[in-house]
Each structure stands twice: as structure tokens, then as C-alpha cells.
């Protein structure tokens, strides 16, 4: 049986069997066997491949990582939990942003608290200009999902959509910055996601509770874990369903 997860991950990472073999330190025929015969690599090779394609070992080889190790890795990926998003220390947001060197992903409805931070927009712009890929997905202001969330959080009709429109003005300096892309989503937002390379803040949403008052957790990606990957895939799924944002 072919390992389609590994094949897909290599393709999306831009690797052929030859380049993957070179990076991992094996023969190209060995990589081909991993793909076509579903052979399981040795642990050291699994770790190198997982890092190469930015996927967890447990995702690429579900039966190869012992359940106890998966459980331990999942627990270890959770750096800290907070009873409310507003309890996340300001210095943590700043540190995560400053340390980003490859990717910044943001999935929110409005995310006002971000652009209200002094220097947030200018820092994102500088990061993008230095080669960091930035993707920000807002709730579509006039969508049914946004209006429903506005009602559920007891904000009132049209309030959340207005907040989104208001916040967009702050992002105008980034509109023509290479490496920065904005989209509107119309999904039910179960979590707001803030990814900075291999670390992430996830703000869980609770019915009737505004985002700042709902719990949040700080995650750090591990090769054998899949909690980080779960939220990463969720972001990508929403992103692919989203449309380019129109100001």
C-alpha cells in the first residue's frame, strides 16, 4: 500500500524522491520504497523526513509511533494554557512575532487586539519584507457566519461586521507589501489561530463568550506530536475556502 500522506507532503514541500533522499541521507530507491510499499523508515529517518515536510511523524506513519509516545508528545506540545485569551502575557505575543522567521498565519473574525498593539503593523511589514510569509484571514463582514457570531456574543446586529471593517483600515499599510495576503472566510470559527513559525496561540471559542474571555493555549510543534498539526491543517482548510479580501 502506498503512503499517500508522505507522497502528498513531499509534493507540497517541493521535494522529489531524489532531493528528499539527499536531505535525509539515504538512497533515492529507499525513499521510493517508503512511498510505494509503505515501508516505515527507521526512527532517525522518520524524524528527518517529518522535519523536512513540516508534518508530524504520527500523521505520516500513524502505526509507527507508539500510542504512549503520541500521548506524551501531544501533552508536551501544550506549553501553557490560559483561562482567558486576555491572560496571555503581552510579552509573549511580542516575542512570538519578533522571533518569526518563516511564517505568520492569523485566523480571526476581527482580531482588533492585534492591530491595536503599538508597532504590530510595522513589525509585520518588516517581517514580510525580510521574507516571512504572512497570511491573515478575517471573517467576511457581511457573511451569515459573522452575523451569527455577532448575535451569539451578544454584540448586536452588524456590530462584529463593523468591527472587521474598522480594523481593516489599520492594515492598509500592508496592502501592497510582497509576502502579505489577506482573505475573507465565511466559516463557523471554532478557534482563532495565531501561528508564528513552529509556535501558536489557539483561542478556543465558547458560545456566548467574547473571544478575550474564552480560554487560550500556547503550542509548540514537536515532530511526534499532532496537536499543532491539527490546528495548522484547520487553518489551511479555512484558507483554501476563503476568498481574497476586498477593501
- In the predicted model, is pLDDT for residue 6 greater than 90? no
| Eight-class DSSP state of 41 | P
Instruction: Please report the sign of the dihedral spanned by the C-alpha atoms of residue 111, residue 113, residue 118, residue 119.
Output: negative
Kindly report, residue by residue over 66-95, the tens digit of the pLDDT: 665 555 555 678 899 999 999 999 999 999
d(CA 101, CA 33): 34
Average pLDDT over residues 90-105: 95
pLDDT at 245: 87
- Tell me the domains of the chain and their CATH numbers: 4-65 (1.10.260.40), 75-244 (3.30.870.10)
Instruction: Please report the sign of the dihedral spanned by the C-alpha atoms of residue 245, residue 11, residue 45, residue 22.
Output: negative
d(CA 85, CA 21): 43
Of 61-70, 103-112, 168-177, 227-236, the one with minimum mean pLDDT is: 61-70
Kindly report, residue by residue over 172-204, the tens digit of the pLDDT: 999 889 999 999 999 999 999 999 999 999 999
- 44 burial via Cβ count (<10 Å: 0-12, 13-18, 19+): exposed
Kindly report, residue by residue over 33-67, the tens digit of the pLDDT: 998 987 888 888 888 888 888 877 877 887 776 66
Kindly report, residue by residue over 123-173, the tens digit of the pLDDT: 999 999 999 999 999 999 999 999 999 998 888 889 999 999 988 989 999
pLDDT at 202: 98
Question: Could you give the maximum distance between any two Cα atoms of the chain, in Å?
Answer: 62
d(CA 115, CA 112): 6
d(CA 147, CA 174): 26
Q: Which cell numbers in the block locate residue 245?
A: 479580501
pLDDT at 66: 64
Beta bridge partners of 204: 191
d(CA 24, CA 2): 20
Do residues 214 and 84 touch, judged by C-beta distance below 8 A?
Answer: yes
Collapsing DSSP states into helix, strand and coil, what is residue 228? helix
Of 59-68, 113-122, 216-225, the range with the highest mean pLDDT is 113-122
Amino acid at each position: 500500500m502506498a503512503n499517500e500522506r508522505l507522497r502528498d507532503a513531499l509534493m507540497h514541500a517541493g521535494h522529489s524522491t531524489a532531493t528528499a533522499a539527499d536531505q535525509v541521507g539515504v538512497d533515492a530507491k529507499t525513499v521510493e520504497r517508503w512511498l510505494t510499499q509503505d515501508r516505515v523508515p527507521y526512527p532517525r529517518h522518520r524524524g528527518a523526513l517529518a522535519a523536512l515536510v513540516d508534518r508530524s511523524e504520527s500523521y505520516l506513519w500513524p502505526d509507527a509511533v507508539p500510542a504512549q509516545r503520541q500521548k506524551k508528545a501531544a501533552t508536551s506540545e501544550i506549553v501553557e494554557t490560559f483561562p482567558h485569551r486576555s491572560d496571555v502575557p503581552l510579552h509573549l505575543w511580542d516575542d512570538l512575532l519578533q522571533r518569526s522567521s518563516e511564517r505568520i498565519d492569523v485566523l480571526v473574525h476581527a482580531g482588533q487586539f492585534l492591530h491595536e498593539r503599538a508597532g504590530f503593523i510595522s513589525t509585520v511589514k518588516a517581517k514580510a519584507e525580510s521574507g516571512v510569509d504572512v497570511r491573515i484571514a478575517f471573517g467576511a463582514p457581511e457573511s451569515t457566519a459573522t452575523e451569527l457570531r455577532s448575535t451569539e456574543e451578544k454584540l448586536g446586529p452588524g456590530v462584529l461586521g463593523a468591527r472587521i471593517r474598522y480594523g481593516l483600515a489599520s492594515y492598509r499599510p500592508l496592502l501592497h507589501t510582497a509576502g502579505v495576503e489577506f482573505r475573507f472566510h465565511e466559516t463557523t470559527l471554532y478557534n482563532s489561530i495565531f501561528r508564528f513559525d513552529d509556535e501558536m496561540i489557539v483561542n478556543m471559542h465558547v458560545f456566548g463568550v467574547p473571544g478575550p474571555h474564552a480560554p487560550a493555549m500556547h503550542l509548540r510543534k514537536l515532530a511526534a506530536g499532532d496537536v499543532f498539526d491539527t490546528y495548522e491543517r484547520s487553518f489551511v482548510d479555512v484558507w483554501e475556502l476563503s476568498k481574497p479580501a476586498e477593501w
